[in-house]
Structure formats: structure tokens, C-alpha cells
Amino acid sequence: MRLIAQPGQNLYCRLSVNTQLLARISHLLKVGKNNFRPPPKVDSSVVRIEPRKPLPPNYITLQSLNLPQNTSSAVLGEVDGEDPSMEIEDGRDDDDMEMEDNDVETLKSTFKDKVLGVLKQGDFQEKRSSKLTQVDFLYLLSLFGIHFS
């Protein structure tokens, strides 16, 4: 049911956001656990997934983002330096970096300032990611310079 969860529901997560951005999802029917041998510990559902065409042009960029869905009850503007979603992912490990420690700290500080600035610009700092709609996520991404047609 995570596939069809809507903003504000307990099951709403990154999976919900990504699948609903890329496809139309509809719940067809619920399949009880007694219909299987041996019966599983959970119920199942049959869903229809109809891909939206074409794929967003920045699909790879979207997949590389660490959307803040792990802490759905956290307010977006309350990020700190230890938050893993504030890490800059560039595919290199620390051994490949030829920067001094103070340069890395400056880069992290600049990145954090940019994120907080964009959240403030879009009036997202007091909002929770679990309450954002598809339109809100697309607007937030556009503030970061990631645009979909």
C-alpha cells in the first residue's frame, strides 16, 4: 500500500513519491494470506502500474538525491551538520579527495547554507517531508535547479 499512499499518511515514503512521479498506480484488489500455501504473515494486493511517458529528463539526477524521507516527522529546516542527507555524494571516497580538512569543512558548510537558503526561499523550512505533495517536491527540486518538463 506504500505505492498508493498519499501525503500525510503513515505509509507515505520515498517509494510513494518516486512511483507516483513515474507512473499511475491504482489498487485493484486485496489478496488475503489464506490464498497462499503456506500462508504468509502479511496480506497482499494486486496493483496496476501504468508508466508515465516520457520519463522525466532529469530522472538520473532525481534518483541520486537523498530525499529526506528517512525522518518523515522531522521538519525540513531543522537539518544539522551530522545529518546524512546533507552529505555530498560524488562517487569518490575520502582517500581520493585531495583537499585539506578545512577545505572539506568549508565545502560542507557552503552546501548546508545553500540547502537551508533554498528551503527558506521556498518556505519549506517548517514543513515535514511526509506532508509534501508531488507538486511540492517538484517545486523544491526546481529551486535547486532540477527541472522536469
Query: pLDDT value at position 110?
Result: 77
Q: What is the pTM of this model?
A: 0.55
| Nearest-angstrom CA–CA distance, 134 and 7 | 9
Q: Which of 87, 59, 88 is nearest to 147 (CA)?
A: 59
Position 88 confidence tier, pLDDT thresholds 50, 70, 90: very low
Is 148 contained in some domain? no
Is 149 contained in some domain? no
Domain of 47 in residue numbering reads as 2-143
| Domain total in the chain | 1
**Positions at the binding site:** 1
| Nearest-angstrom CA–CA distance, 107 and 114 | 11
**Positions at the binding site for S-adenosyl-L-methionine:** 1
